[in-house]
Amino acid sequence: QQQVKQSPQSLIVQKGGISIINCAYENTAFDYFPWYQQFPGKGPALLIAIRPDVSEKKEGRFTISFNKSAKQFSLHIMDSQPGDSATYFCAASRTNAGKSTFGDGTTLTVKP
Amino acid sequence: DTEVTQTPKHLVMGMTNKKSLKCEQHMGHRAMYWYKQKAKKPPELMFVYSYEKLSINESVPSRFSPECPNSSLLNLHLHALQPEDSALYLCASSPRTILHYGYTFGSGTRLTVV
């Protein structure tokens, strides 16, 4: 049973547009929700993360929106750039679990 | 130093070979992880070391043998692998296994088993 469902699987956005990637989780014990960005041939890199006591977190062009009652969170990339083209993974973990559960990933392509 | 360094970057090995993957971090992180990633898939947890002790083994076949010689180093010993073990092997670290800090991943070792 997949605990974190991510959508869409792939996304194509024009330069300057807004990219939106969604994740839904099932385990209400999760209390940390990071997003990772992975370029081809590289390991994932932590992009931004949120905890359930906050509904939104913004870092530059990247924003996480969190809806605790719906058990959903999303990544918004404002003013998307070709350099943002990568695979994005959402994840969820709970304190002391020692590991994260990853979504299946979204391949983002930003067209110039 | 804010990096996790993995060596080698690429490895081709036969099914009867023995090889080792190495991972090093100097961030003072006390939790280290091995992940396996297949193409277009998320990372899949293999092992977790917390304060140099193995704390999680995700039912990984014994042909994969982890080792944590000290708080900065993590090895993955490989023996009698199968072609389906070909993948990107990622090492990661975090300050503790309390994951409110996220992982720092290395760039991985691209392993091909022939």
Query: Hey, what are B113's tokens?
Result: 């088993």
> How many residue contacts between A and B have a Cβ separation below 8 Å?
65
Strand ranges for chain A from DSSP E: 4-7, 10-14, 19-25, 33-38, 45-50, 56-59, 62-67, 72-77, 86-92, 101-102, 106-111
CB contact under 8 A, A105 and B40: yes
What is the pLDDT, as a whole number, of residue A95?
75
Q: Report pLDDT digits (tens) over B43-74.
A: 999 999 999 999 999 999 999 999 999 999 99
Averaged confidence pLDDT in chain B: 94
**In terms of Cα–Cα distance, which of A99, A89, A108 is closest to A18?**
A108
CB contact under 8 A, A93 and B99: yes
- C-alpha A21/C-alpha A76 separation (Å) is 7
Query: Hey, what are A13's tokens?
Result: 């956005």
Angle at CA B105, nearest 5°, toward A83 and A51? 85
Which residue of A95, A102, A107, A108 is the best one to mutate when testing the B interface, meaning the one whose CB has the most B CBs within 10 A? A102
Q: What is the mean pLDDT of residues A5-26?
A: 98
For tokens 């990339």, name the residue.
A77
| pLDDT of A1 higher than 60 | no
**In terms of Cα–Cα distance, which of B43, B59, B65, B90 is closest to A104?**
B43
Q: Which of A42, A49, A104 sits opposite B42 (nearest CB)?
A: A104
Query: Hey, what are A47's tokens?
Result: 């992009």
Angle at CA B43, nearest 5°, toward B77 and B56? 55
Any B CB within 8 A of A48 CB: no
| Low-confidence spans in chain B with pLDDT less than 50 | none
What is the pLDDT, as a whole number, of residue B23?
98
N-term to C-term CA, chain B: 36
CB-CB contact of A104 with A6 (8 Å): yes
**In terms of Cα–Cα distance, which of B63, B76, B64, B79 is closest to B32?**
B76
- C-alpha A82/C-alpha A95 separation (Å) is 36
The SS3 of residue A57 is: strand
